[in-house]
Structure formats: structure tokens, C-alpha cells
Amino acid sequence: MYSRTNMLWTQRRNFCRMLDMRQLSSMLDIKPEVHDAIINKRAVVALESTIITHGMPFPHNLKTAMEVEDIVREQGAIPATIAILKGQIKIGLSQNELEELADPKTSVIKTSRRDMAYVLSRKMNGGTTVAGTLICADLCGIKLFATGGIGGVHRDGENTLDISADLMEMGKSSVTVVSSGIKSILDIPRTMEYLETQGVCVTTFQCPDKEFPAFYSRTSGVKAQYNFNDATDAALCINKSIQLGLNSSILIGVPVPNEFAMDGIIINNAIEKALREADENGIKGKEVTPYLLAAIAKITSGKSLETNIALIKENARVAAQIAVELEKLQYNGEDRQDEMKITRNKAKIASSSTPLVVGGSILDIHYHVNEENLKLNGATYKAKTTFSPGGVARNIAEGLYKLNGSVSLISAFGDDQNGEVLRKTLPSEATESSQISSTFATASCAVILDKVRDCKIYVGDMDIHSEITPELIYANVDLIKHAPLICIDANLSHETIDAILLLACRYDKPVFYEPTDMLIAGKPFELSPQQYRQIKFMTPNIYELRKIVDTLKPSSDASTPFWAHDNDLKINKFSDEIAELCDKLHDDIDNIIVTAGSHGIFIKRFGTSNDKFFTNNLQYIQRGTNGDSKLRHYPATIENNVKSSSGAGDAFSAGFITAMLNQKSEAICVSVGFEAALASLRSVNTVPKEFFNKSHSCWNNGAKFNVF
């Protein structure tokens, strides 16, 4: 009888929440990766924003916020920093939004329950307190929240009745709070009594003596009722609380790491002094805590700030571990593997010379039409059919493996025969971070080639590319951290490109962009300048270049290039057009490599043809502002024995990247790229079975060019 009643009550509550969410939808902006994780009951950790806006000085606040998010990801969970920006509740922040909040020039209100409606109605910015963050996290169904320390009963609170709203919210929220206890500027014994009255389960983490931490110090002199031995122990308790529908928080006290803990006497003396100063300066209400934290940091010569940063990071680590264990319980340990066949945080750490490629893997079906005057008019043409592994990213990855010796590929394959065929083109360690989908078939593409083997049209089934999600990227963050270069194609979703470029910015990794198709070439350039400027190389053809320019500079002329109808290339006119388009991207992309089929390539960049792209320790050489920035045209060698042209561009990219990572000059990179493209043209396979070794003359003789 009880279980039936409880089930009906839960259904009624969920229905009411659904009605509330309809009204809230205009006020909530949930970041796509967070939304996806919540919907699929994956591990998410909420993070407050007053630490950024009021808890630390700049730039420590921004640096800590970014590092805390990284720690959550490294444990296998998704971070969701919560704040209010321009009157909208943000569940998960972008890099730009974090920077905006951290900027001392940004006007931000410290926002708890009492402030929230006012801040939203005035379209203001708000840094959410523990109470404010709990409200927002609970609305969205996030179950774990990591913070520094919670508020509580203030000293002399029995007379002033100054009690933090954090305590009341914890009494009615189903979100578990992981903190380093109660801020030591408060009355800890009275706070513990108040939490008990609110029905909050107070525990310690890996503290057999149950000694509750006091923020800066590992001990407070007050005992908790219970202790969790590890993350699994904590997750079991949280899961039971959720099943019971208790709707009150569990508070988990995590002591600050030993090496950062402060002496209790020293910190108490600093607190007493700061309290006197606050009283003398008339500091009241919600301004007291940030004032005291800043004053204590000054009194302790920055030691307290160092401790504050360390304990926040530790709490984020523990909260993420618990969130991952809770996810396992909710999926009974096995269902998750059926849904997503990747192990969280299992990404291998690649060697520093191993590039990372992210994008599509496709089985190409080639129809070689043997008749002349091929027209797409519904007629039937005789053709020979061949099958070949394809996909821009996969092609480049296979080329890099054969030329460079190592590569990592993040892609998506169907759990089918075609997927198995594609995976076998690379060693297992190169594809172990890819997604195996039981939902979608392996991508396939029909390629129609005319009599001279030029591609006329592609028709493809690409739905599986949606499986290359931001979560998949974040689960393999170590590959990005250690790769000298990240290569992406435009088959990725906006959200996934956003995630890759965000991490590339964070770890200062150059990105090599293959636009893939004129219809989708502009995707990355719809993001913020900080993100798309992390693309240091791109290889568009003229159509894709026009699309990119039109995305960034919508007023540009996007007429059809004359040479598309003229096989006798008027090189001077064509180079003027390329130069004009590249000039419009002058401030955005360091190295623009425009591919022109049999006419070769054009390169626009600062520097000379003898300049290298990478140092001996594989650090990208940032472009200068001086030197030669003229357009260089490298004519291609004509190949008369063309068997297929569909993979030549990808082979060129693989050769060019390999030479770059071997610290070769621009001219030699082009030479190696051309030779790789020729090998592809001579092969019936998109990527030839064999290329050439480093004894080939292309590794020593730079390609010839003309300057315009």
C-alpha cells in the first residue's frame, strides 16, 4: 500500500513539475551537453557562481572556475556552472560566459532565493549562492552540487537571527551538497543543530572519526552523525534518498587536503580580526561573507585563498566521482554500456607526436560511369561499382597512420558489418575512443564519378554523425590535452565543434579544419571569435572559402567563381579573387590553404615558404605580424593515370600535416602533400594501401610556387 501511494505521489509531483517547466522554459537556458546528460541520467555536477563573482579576486576566479570544470570532466561527469546572465538562468556556461562573469567590470548581483525574481525581472546578472544554485539545480534534476563551504548561523546569530538561506534550501532540496563543511567564519555548532532541524543528513567523507571539517581547517570540533567510506557508499545513500522522495539534501563534508589545511588557531585569530573590521565598517547582510573572505585572505597574506582554491577542487573531484557512481546505480551498471559503448575517462594518453582527428567515417560506394556527357537528368548510365572506406576524418586518419606512424580518431561507427570494415582500416588503439552505435547504421555515401574520374555528386546517409557528441569529446579530453594538433571536419554538429574548440582554446591546441562541403563549411564561424580563431589551418576549395567568408562577412559577394565553367584557368584573375577573399579573413585564420583540384593550391599566411609551422617539441609557432603575406600558388603535378580522385584532397591534408609535425617548411609540406595526393589518384582506394617513406625526394625538395 505504501509503495503504491508513494508512486502516485511521485507521479503527481512530476506532473506538476512538468507544468512548472513549461512556464520556466523562457527563463532557463540549459547548455546542450548538460541537457543531454540530464535527460539521459548521466553524471552531472552543479557548480555555483558566487565563487567566481564574489568569492575570489580576478584572475584567480576565472582560472579556478575553468580548472574545477576540468576536474569534473576528468572524473567522467559533466560540469554545470550555474549563473544568471541578462535575466536568464544559465545551466552550464560557455568559455565566454565564464570570462564575462569573472571580469571585475561586469555588474553582478549576489543571488539567493530572495533576489532571484528581482534579478530575472530586471534582466540583470546574478552570481548564484549555494541557495540559489540549489534551486536551479533542483529545477533541472541535477543531483550533485560541489561548492567550497556552505553558509550557516552567523556568530551572535542567537541575537541577530542572521541565518544563511543555504540551510533552509537544503531542508527542501533533493540535491546532495559536497563541501568542505561550514565556513569557519560562522557558528558551526549552531549551524549543525539547525541542519538537523531541517532534516538534512550531515556526513563526512573518508573520515572514520566523523570529525566535520571547518572549511580552512580539517576539523571543527563537531562530529557528524555518519561517514561515507568512498564514492560508492555515498551514491548508495543518495540513491535511496531519491527513491524515497525525501526532498532534503545530504551534506557531505570533505576535509581540505592536508598540505593546504590551515592551523585552527591562526585562522580563528584572522576571523576574529576580520569580524571586528566588518563591524567597524558597517558591513551587513549578504555582503558580510565576501567581505570576510577577502579580509581573511589579506590578513593571512594569501594563504587562505590558496586553501580556498584547493578545497573547491577537491570537492569537485569527490562530487564528480559520486555522480558517476550514482549514474551506475541508476542504470544498474549494465544498461549504460548498451547505450554507449565507451568507458568514461578511459581515453588513452597519446604520445605528444600523435595528432587527433575528429569527424565522420563513411563507406564510399563509387559508381564509375563509362559514358561521356554525363548529365543528371534522370537517364540511366552504365557504371562499374566499387566499395571503399571513406569519410574525410577517417581518410585523413588512415593517411596520417600510414605516413606519420600514429593517430587517434574520434568518430562513430554502426554496430554492423560496414562499421567493422571501416574500423579494421586502422589499428584498434587508434579507434578505441570512437563511438559504436546500436541506434544508427554506419554512414554510407554514393559517389558518382564521370569518365575522367571527377566526382559529380555525393548522396549520403550521415545520421550516425549525431553520435559524435560533446560528451564523447569531453570523455576523451586527455587526447586533446596531449595532441600537438586537432583535425576536424564539418560533419560534426555545432555543439560538438563548440566543445572541441572550447577545449582547444583551454589547452592552446591548434586546429586543422577540413570544411568538407560548401553547404556546411561555415559551421565553426558561427561560434565566438575566440573559438574559431583557434582554427590555425583550413583547406577550403573556392566554394567553401566563399561560404566561410559569407558566414563571417555577410555582405561579401558570393557569386559563382568564373573558373567553375572554364577549364583554361586564368590564373591571374583567379589569384586576385582568392587573395581578396583571404584578406577578409586576415585577422581570423593564420594559414589558409585553398585547394584548386588539378590546378594545385594557394596559400595565404604571414611568413615565407621556408618558415616552419611547429617547433622541435611540437609547439605551434604563432604567426607574426611582419614579413611576407603575399598569396603563393603551388601548381600541381598532372597525373595521367587517375583511377579515383575522391580521396586526393584528404591525402594531401594527411601528407601536409605529417610534414608539419616533422618540422618541415611550408614548401616541403606542400611537396609531401602533393605526393600523397598523387598516390591517392593512382589508387582505386580512397586512401592507397601504401604511400612512400621518408627517403622519397619530396621530403627534401620543396614544391615550386608563384607569388601574386
Residue 14 has pLDDT above 60, yes or no: no
Domain ranges of the chain: 25-339, 356-707
- DSSP per-residue string spanning 57-83: -TTHHHHHHHHHHHHHHHTT-EEEEEE
Q: DSSP letter at 698?
A: G
- DSSP per-residue string spanning 614-673: B-TT--B----SSS----EEEPPPP-S--S--TTHHHHHHHHHHHHHHTT-BHHHHHHHH
Q: DSSP letter at 163?
A: B
Phi and psi for 444 in degrees, rounded to 5? -135, 155
Residue 5 has pLDDT above 50, yes or no: no
Signed CA dihedral, 270, 273, 275, 281: sign only = negative
Predicted local distance difference test score (pLDDT) of residue 127: 94
Evaluate whether 25-339 and 356-707 have a shared fold. Answer: no
* Residue 409 neighbours by CB distance under 10 Å: 28
Residues acting as catalytic residues: 48, 183
Q: What would the pLDDT profile of 641-688 be if each residue is shown by its tens digit?
A: 778 777 889 999 999 999 999 999 999 999 999 999 999 888 878 888
User: Measured between alpha carbons, how far is 456 from 369 in angstroms, rounded to an integer?
Assistant: 10
Signed CA dihedral, 112, 70, 590, 686: sign only = negative
Considering the domain delimited by 356-707, tell me its CATH architecture.
3-Layer(aba) Sandwich (3.40)
Predicted local distance difference test score (pLDDT) of residue 341: 40
Predicted local distance difference test score (pLDDT) of residue 556: 46
290 vs 164, more confident: 164
Q: What would the pLDDT profile of 411-435 be if each residue is shown by its tens digit?
A: 999 999 999 999 988 988 889 899 9
Q: What is the mean pLDDT of residues 230-243?
A: 94
Exposure string over 645-663, b if 16+ CB within 10 A, otherwise e: bbbbbbbbbbbbbbbbbbe
Exposure string over 358-378, b if 16+ CB within 10 A, otherwise e: bbbbbbbbbbbbeeeebeeee
Contact by Cβ (8 Å): 89, 140:
no
Lowest mean pLDDT among 100-109, 225-234, 332-341, 669-678: 332-341
Residue 20 has pLDDT above 60, yes or no: no
Give the position of cell 540511366.
380
Q: Tell me what percent of the residues of the chain surpass a pLDDT of 70.
A: 86
Quick one: which H or E segment has residue 47? strand 44-47
User: Measured between alpha carbons, how far is 143 from 183 in angstroms, rounded to an integer?
Assistant: 22
Residue 187 has pLDDT above 90, yes or no: no
Predicted local distance difference test score (pLDDT) of residue 102: 93
Residue 1 has pLDDT above 70, yes or no: no
- DSSP per-residue string spanning 538-607: E---HHHHHHHHHHH-TTS--PPPGGGG-SS--HHHHHHHHHHHHHTTTTT-SEEEEE-GGG-EEEE-SS
User: Measured between alpha carbons, how far is 296 from 268 in angstroms, rounded to an integer?
Assistant: 10
Predicted local distance difference test score (pLDDT) of residue 452: 73
Give the position of cell 563511438.
435
Predicted local distance difference test score (pLDDT) of residue 204: 96
Quick one: which H or E segment has residue 140? helix 130-140
CA–centroid distance for 487 within its chain: 15
Residue 210 has pLDDT above 90, yes or no: yes
User: Measured between alpha carbons, how far is 51 from 62 in angstroms, rounded to an integer?
Assistant: 10
Fold of 25-339: Indigoidine synthase fold (3.40.1790)
Signed CA dihedral, 431, 435, 440, 444: sign only = negative
Q: What is the mean pLDDT of residues 300-312?
A: 84
Residue 476 has pLDDT above 70, yes or no: yes
Residue 345 has pLDDT above 50, yes or no: no
Which residues 6+ apart lie within 8 Å of 197 measured at CB? none
Helix (H, G, I), strand (E, B), or coil: what is residue 10? helix
Helix (H, G, I), strand (E, B), or coil: what is residue 127? strand
Q: Are strands 535-538 and 511-514 parallel, antiparallel or unpaired?
A: parallel
Residue 292 has pLDDT above 90, yes or no: no
Cell of 664: 618541415
Q: What would the pLDDT profile of 346-397 be if each residue is shown by its tens digit?
A: 434 444 578 999 999 998 887 888 777 777 777 788 888 878 888 899 999 9
Cell of 442: 554506419
Predicted local distance difference test score (pLDDT) of residue 47: 96
Residue 451 has pLDDT above 60, yes or no: yes
Using N-to-C axis directions, what is the helix angle for 648-661 and 392-404, rounded to 10°? 40
Q: What would the pLDDT profile of 550-588 be if each residue is shown by its tens digit?
A: 998 876 454 444 444 344 445 566 788 888 899 888 888
| Average pLDDT of the chain to the nearest whole number | 84
Predicted local distance difference test score (pLDDT) of residue 2: 39
Give the position of cell 609547439.
619
Which residues 6+ apart lie within 8 Å of 697 measured at CB? none
The pTM of the full predicted model, rounded to 2 decimals, is 0.59
- Cis amide prior to 59 (ω within 30 degrees): yes
Counts of helices then strands in the chain (DSSP H, E): 26, 26
Predicted local distance difference test score (pLDDT) of residue 136: 93
Which residues 6+ apart lie within 8 Å of 467 measured at CB? 412, 435, 437, 439, 440
Q: What is the mean pLDDT of residues 85-93?
A: 93
Q: How far is CA 653 from CA 197, 393, 604, 708, in A?
A: 66, 10, 16, 23
Beta strands in 462-568 (DSSP E): 486-489, 511-514, 535-538
Q: What would the pLDDT profile of 520-547 be if each residue is shown by its tens digit?
A: 999 999 888 888 999 999 999 999 999 9
Q: What would the pLDDT profile of 127-157 be if each residue is shown by its tens digit?
A: 999 999 999 999 889 999 999 988 878 776 6
As a three-state string, the secondary structure of 397-436 is HHHHHHHHCCCEEECEEECCHHHHHHHCCCCHHHHCCCEE
Residue 483 has pLDDT above 80, yes or no: yes
